[in-house]
């Protein structure tokens, strides 16, 4: 099996695992804590709209990845960039996906029952500042961004580029929503934390500090 064929199967397995992992965790946390760890946000809010876009693209990504295994001609439909679709580029994309998964698992393990997807009215019970949160305020968002970059490199195409741009935009919006919620809940403690820790521990447009 060559690397490009392996990459097709790896993408389908990767995004299937991600879907199963998050679904199972939501059910497990609800069974353990007696409350939902899924917050969609008020209807029409930035969080709700962003989550809708994100979920649609996540489902589409999974569908495309599985369909490519069944019929490689799907690559034509998603507008594959043939000049970039080479073994070294695909391999780098798979490495990004592995890094993303490692950070996801580490952060989820650290957060345990404090994890929640989205921001609810009740808010988090405590302000986490250790572990991965000592380096960045939103490690899970960084992990997702790494995964989106990895997906684009593993399948360089019009579709994966649009998914990357939409994904990064939604992550930035959600990070702002969560920062505001944490500021309202923890006040000066959060602001002191935000002054010393960046939202995203990467350079460029993804790095954003809090506004006092």
Q: How far apart are CA 131 and CA 111, in angstroms?
A: 9
Residue 212 inside a domain? The answer is: no
* Res 45: pLDDT: 77
List average pLDDT for each run of 10 residues in the chain, which is 212 residues long. 92 95 89 79 75 85 96 96 96 97 93 80 80 94 96 97 93 90 91 93 46 34
Residue 156 inside a domain? The answer is: yes
If one counts the domains in the chain, the total is 1
Q: How far apart are CA 8 and CA 87, in angstroms?
A: 12
Q: How far apart are CA 141 and CA 85, in angstroms?
A: 26
Residue 135 inside a domain? The answer is: yes
* Res 36: pLDDT: 78
Q: State the CATH number of the domain containing residue 137.
A: 1.20.120.1630
* Res 121: pLDDT: 65
Residue 191 inside a domain? The answer is: yes
Range of the domain at 146: 3-206
* Res 212: pLDDT: 32
């Amino acid at each position: 099996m060559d690397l490009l064929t392996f990459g097709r199967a790896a993408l389908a397995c990767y995004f299937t695992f991600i879907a199963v992992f998050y679904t199972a965790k939501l059910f497990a946390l609800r069974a353990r804590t007696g409350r939902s760890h899924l917050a969609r946000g008020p209807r029409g809010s930035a969080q709700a709209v962003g989550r809708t876009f994100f979920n649609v693209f996540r489902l589409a990504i999974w569908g495309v990845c599985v369909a490519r295994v069944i019929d490689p001609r799907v690559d034509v439909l998603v507008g594959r960039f043939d000049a970039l679709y080479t073994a070294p580029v695909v391999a780098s994309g798979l490495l990004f996906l592995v890094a993303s998964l490692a950070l996801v698992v580490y952060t989820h393990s650290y957060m345990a029952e404090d994890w929640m997807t989205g921001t609810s009215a009740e808010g988090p019970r405590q302000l986490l500042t250790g572990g991965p949160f000592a380096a960045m305020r939103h490690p899970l968002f960084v992990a997702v961004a790494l995964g989106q970059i990895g997906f684009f490199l593993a399948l360089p195409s019009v579709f994966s580029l649009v998914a990357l741009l939409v994904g990064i935009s939604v992550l930035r919006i959600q990070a702002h929503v969560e920062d505001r919620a944490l500021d309202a809940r923890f006040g000066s403690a959060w602001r002191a934390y935000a002054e010393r820790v960046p939202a995203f521990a990467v350079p460029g447009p993804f790095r954003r500090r809090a506004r006092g």
